Amino acid sequence: MDCHPFAQDSILEVTVARNAQNQVNAASGARREMNLPGQVVLVLQGGGALGAYQVGVYQALHEAGIEPDWIIGTSIGAINGTIIAGNKPEDRLARLTQFGNLVQNHRVADIGAMWAGFGNVFSNLEVFTRGVDGFFVPNAEAVWGVHVPLGVERAAFYSTAPLQDTLAELIDFDYVNAKHARLTLGAVNVRTGEMHYSDSRDRNLCATHVMASGALPPAFPALRVDGEPYWDGGVYSNTPIEVVLDEKPRRDSLILAANMWHPRGPEPETIWQVLDRHKDIQYASRALDQAPWQRQCDAMDGVIVHEVSQ
């Protein structure tokens, strides 16, 4: 574990690479005796079936007696984040596991392209042609071709209508909107290309906000929020730490970002490796780039970055 001090102000980011659960557990256990330096912010990326790793990150924190004060999510991170914010602490792991089993049992990992890049979308023909119960189903209108005008809310290969019932089963939105933990969900405006954050501090949230944050084109269609069409926030910012850095008034924060994509990696040698490396670069956290810029703009009380690597 490397510690990189920056200036005098203080944000703590824990970046968790894939297959690093033992290191996460050790890091979390070490925090049991810590006086946490401010609000605990959990930032959850997009990454499709890789969202299962986020469950392990939350479990490690939960077992260390750490519950987030603020959860920020995009794409699959928006779903997991809302499950956390929408349940009592003692029920969160069970609900996260229930959704994780839905994803894993149907091998949604095989259609990672539906969430990020191309991936091995054709390796599971049943999922590709039939969808996943409780998640998404093929859009019959898409068979007419990619040039047929369907409207932004139907122009996609799949419909995520089944996901709404699944979210209703797993999430108590009354609990979310009671603000036991703050929840912020990122989505990008289809028309303007600008990032938009729906925040439980400012408004009541519902399943539509969650689904808009996970509407990755062209697999899933845009959803409308306040009349505007939105796509998956990962299209614009897959690790939206800037939400915390731009917060006013500022608060000391411990930021824990479950980073499922590798910003650094070896040179790819096959086309398959090229596809994987492309996704890693495109969707990896930009936190280390943001920290020096933010420090120059207006520091908060020191930045310490703990990187837990593979």
CA distances to 17, 53, 93, 172, 197 from 57, rounded to whole Å, are 10, 6, 11, 22, 23
Per-residue confidence (pLDDT) for residue 36, from 0 to 100: 76
Strand, helix or coil for residue 11:
strand
**pLDDT beyond 50 at 74:** yes
DSSP 13-79: EEEE-TT-HHHHHHHHHHTTT----SEEEEEE---GGGGHHHHHHHHHHHHTT---SEEEE-THHHH
Q: Which range is most confident: 16-25, 282-291, 299-308? A: 282-291
189 pLDDT tier (thresholds 50, 70, 90): very high
Q: How far apart are CA 255 and CA 66, in angstroms?
A: 12
Per-residue confidence (pLDDT) for residue 169, from 0 to 100: 95
**pLDDT beyond 90 at 292:** no
58 pLDDT tier (thresholds 50, 70, 90): very high
Helix ranges restricted to H, the chain: 21-30, 52-63, 76-85, 89-105, 125-130, 161-170, 173-177, 207-213, 242-245, 271-283, 287-298
Per-residue confidence (pLDDT) for residue 97, from 0 to 100: 93
Q: Could you tell me which of 131, 68, 65 has the C-alpha nearest to residue 258?
A: 68
263 pLDDT tier (thresholds 50, 70, 90): confident
Q: What is the pTM of this model?
A: 0.78
What pLDDT, in 10s, does the model give residues 102-137? 876 555 544 444 444 334 444 456 666 777 888 899
Burial-class residue 153 by CB neighbours within 10 Å (0-12, 13-18, 19+). Answer: middle
The two structure tokens encoding residue 3: 């510690």
- Is the preceding omega at residue 249 within 30 degrees of 0, hence cis? yes
